[in-house]
Amino acid sequence: EDQVTQSPEALRLQEGESSSLNCSYTVSGLRGLFWYRQDPGKGPEFLFTLYSAGEEKEKERLKATLTKKESFLHITAPKPEDSATYLCAVQAKGRRALTFGSGTRLQVQP
Amino acid sequence: EAQVTQNPRYLITVTGKKLTVTCSQNMNHEYMSWYRQDPGLGLRQIYYSMNVEVTDKGDVPEGYKVSRKEKRNFPLILESPSPNQTSLYFCASSLSIGVVAGEQYFGPGTRLTVT
């Protein structure tokens, strides 16, 4: 059974204080790992897809990395508008369904 | 504007009364999917569809039905809703690349309460 565990559940940062969110996964062969951002009352918004260990993707203050067991979402010098819940999901080889983690709720205070 | 729309956005109903939540996308996407989101459990996939007339079960399909008669529409049907189906529901679509679900666009959500 595919499993995705995100940590921490919640994180509070000061503006400019860099940090990382963790996504640990267990799948029988990884097809892809996805990061999404979800604002309160809205649907998730796609951020990144990672396909293989060692791959990195960047977008503004966000950088996603992937190893064989986990992915990190690094947030550099965050701003209050980065406050949201960040979701990680995996797709296993041979499956077309996605498995999501419970998310990390990030709050960035000015 | 590229978007996924869902209707209704909010629905309160009673146990056993059949209901349909509609989902439509205007991006000509092949892949569409339904999720439910519950506190502490995250997003769980109910059903997905790779193309017209092709649907398959996700992780929590019990109590739900879907159909894909047109590429743009993917309704979710609850034949006999029960209180444990009270949840926030999201429809999503993506341009399928091979067998990878790809970047998914999510709708705004439908908050369903079954009493």
User: CATH number of the domain that A71 lies in?
Assistant: 2.60.40.10
Helices and strands: H and E segment counts in chain B: 0, 11
Question: Hey, is the C-beta of B65 within 8 angstroms of any chain A C-beta?
Answer: no
A11 CB neighbour count, 10 Å cutoff: 17
With contacts defined as CB-CB under 8 Å, which chain A residues touch B48?
96-97
Mark yes or no for CB contact A31/B58 under 8 Å.
no
Is residue A109 domain-resident?
Answer: no
Give the per-residue pLDDT at A26: 95
CB distance B100–A46 less than 8 Å?
no
Statement: residue B99 has pLDDT above 60: no
pLDDT-derived band at A4, boundaries 50, 70, 90: very high
Confidence of residue B36 (pLDDT cuts 50, 70, 90): very high
Chain A contact set for B9 (CB, 8 A) = none
Distance from CA of A44 to the nearest CA of B (A): 6
In which domain, by residue range, is A51 found? 3-104
Rounded to the nearest angstrom, the minimum Cα separation between B51 and chain A is: 12
Cβ pair B101:A46 closer than 8 A: no
Which pLDDT does position B97 carry in this prediction?
A: 60
Q: Is B98 in CB contact (< 8 Å) with chain A?
A: no
A41/B48 touch (CB, cutoff 8 Å), yes or no: no
Domain-embedded: residue A75: yes
> In this structure, are residues B58 and B33 in contact, taking their beta carbons and an 8 Å threshold?
yes
In a domain, A64, yes or no: yes
Q: Is A89 inside a domain boundary?
A: yes
Using an 8 Å Cβ cutoff, are B105 and B96 in contact?
A: no
B74-77: long-range contacts, CB 8 A cutoff, minimum separation 24: B74/B23, B74/B24, B74/B25, B74/B32, B74/B33, B74/B34, B74/B49, B75/B20, B75/B21, B75/B22, B75/B23, B76/B20, B76/B21, B76/B23, B76/B34, B76/B46, B76/B47, B77/B18, B77/B19, B77/B20
- Report the gap between the CA of B12 and the closest CA in chain A (Å): 17
Task: Note whether A32 contacts B100, CB cutoff 8 Å.
Answer: yes
**Is residue B35 scored above 70 in pLDDT?**
yes
Is residue B98 predicted with pLDDT exceeding 80?
no
In a domain, residue A18? The reply is: yes
Q: What is the tens place of the pLDDT at every residue in A48-100?
A: 999 999 999 999 999 999 999 999 999 999 999 999 999 999 988 888 778 89
Using the Cβ of A31 and the Cβ atoms of chain B, whether some distance falls under 8 Å is answered with yes
The pLDDT score that the predictor gives to residue B41 is 86
CA distance B115 to chain A (A): 22
Task: Indicate the number of domains in chain A.
Answer: 1
Res A103 pLDDT > 90: yes
Residue A22 counted as domain residue: yes
pLDDT in tens, B44-95: 999 999 889 989 999 899 999 999 999 999 999 999 999 999 999 999 998 8
Does A7 map to a domain?
A: yes
User: pLDDT, tens digit, for every residue of A10-41?
Assistant: 999 999 999 999 999 999 899 999 999 999 98
Q: Is A110 inside a domain boundary?
A: no
Task: State the pLDDT at residue B100.
Answer: 63
